Amino acid sequence: MPLGPAPARPVVFVSYSWDSEPHTIWVREVFTNGLRSRGVEAVADVHETDYGDPLDDFMERLAESCSHIAVICTPNYAARARGDIGGVGYEKALIRRFMASAAPGQRVVPILRAGDGTSVPPFLGSRRWVDMRSDVDTDILLDELSALFYGQQLYRAAPIAEPPDWLKKLIS
């Protein structure tokens, strides 16, 4: 029996700061490619631009066409966002615009990669963040994010059962 049409492939804009070479490699190889290997079109500048390309054009085009945004949060990202510095400062404005006009189901998801809760910049508000500071749970967290970006919940609550007989007697 057909399951119906396949859901549209989500496009996820990966926003991050260029903190260090190991951090950039993690964003590119582990996070972005990890989502891509799960059927999510995750897009980061390191895959889509070359030296000399205008990054602001890339960021604007992607922020206008993506279905979700993943923000890789570190102390450096938070400081640059607070100070409206460089590409992070520019992306902050684009992400705010996305949040203001997002359709139901479109999400901005903070991904905490380094630091503590203060590394999630204030402009993201009280959004629940994903703790990816350790690589131990990376695969399951990427599975959860992939399901989320497809509009699915990986874990579902059990159905509510009838009260047991002893409780029925108490409440009747």
> Are the CB atoms for 43 and 13 separated by under 8 Å?
yes
List pLDDT tens digits, range 46-98.
888 888 877 888 888 888 889 999 999 999 999 999 999 998 998 999 999 99
Predicted pLDDT of residue 37: 98
> Confidence class of residue 4 from pLDDT cuts 50, 70 and 90?
very low
Provide mean pLDDT across the span 4-18.
83
Predicted pLDDT of residue 140: 96
Provide mean pLDDT across the span 29-53.
92
Domain ranges of the chain: 11-171
List pLDDT tens digits, range 105-149.
889 999 999 999 999 999 998 899 999 999 999 999 999 999 999
11-171: CATH class = alpha beta
Predicted pLDDT of residue 64: 86
User: What span, in angstroms and rounded, lies between the C-alpha atoms of 128 and 140?
Assistant: 17
Predicted pLDDT of residue 6: 52
- The C-alpha torsion from 32 through 44 and 99 to 66, rounded to 10°, is -90
> Are the CB atoms for 77 and 19 separated by under 8 Å?
yes
Structure tokens at 125: 């508000």
Predicted pLDDT of residue 59: 85
User: What span, in angstroms and rounded, lies between the C-alpha atoms of 111 and 134?
Assistant: 12
Return the biggest CA–CA distance within the chain.
75
User: What span, in angstroms and rounded, lies between the C-alpha atoms of 58 and 61?
Assistant: 5
Predicted pLDDT of residue 7: 64
Which residues lie below 8 Å from residue 13, measured CB to CB, with a gap of 6+? 43, 62, 63, 66, 68, 69, 70
SS3 144: helix
H-only helix segments in the chain: 21-25, 33-36, 45-48, 55-65, 75-82, 86-101, 138-149, 165-171
pLDDT higher for 90 or 35? 35
Structure tokens at 33: 């490619």
- What sign does the dihedral 26-10-41-55 (CA atoms) show? negative
Predicted pLDDT of residue 56: 81
